[in-house]
Structures are given as C-alpha cells and as structure tokens.
Amino acid sequence: MKIKRKLYTRGSSFETTIPMPILFALDKNTKHYVVFDYDEEQNRWYIDFEKMNSKGDELE
C-alpha cells in the first residue's frame, strides 16, 4: 500500500505528519511529495520523498 501526499508549509512549519528532523536533507525551496509505503510482511511504514516539477507532477 502506498499513500502519496504533497508536502507543504503551514506558517513557519511543514505538514504536521512529517517531523522537521526527517526533512533535514530536503531542499526547502523545491516542492516534494511524501510517499508513505506500507510493508505488510514486516508490518512497517516507510517514508520516501519525490520531487515535483513546476506543474506539481512527479519528476522522472
């Protein structure tokens, strides 16, 4: 199962589902999707980031 959400700022912070320490390596001037990937076998969630282009689409 994968869930994809836009990462956006809200005032001086980012969406509350992603703690700022996890975002340390992201370029804050570039828009990203946050991808939540669930591994049923291990019963764990993983977080990944995908850059968006200027139209809000994924980059290849």
The total number of structural domains that make up the chain: 1
- What mean pLDDT is reported for the chain? 79
What residues does 45 pair with on adjacent strands?
Answer: 38
Is 58 inside any structural domain?
Answer: no
**Cβ-Cβ contacts under 8 Å for 22 (sequence gap 6 or more):** 47
Closest to 33 measured CA to CA, from 23, 21, 44 = 23
Domain of 32 in residue numbering reads as: 2-51
pTM > 0.75: yes or no = no
Largest CA distance in the chain: 38
Model confidence at 34, pLDDT cuts 50, 70, 90, reads confident
Residue 59 domain-assigned?
no
Q: How many CA atoms lie within 13 A of 16 on its CB side?
A: 0
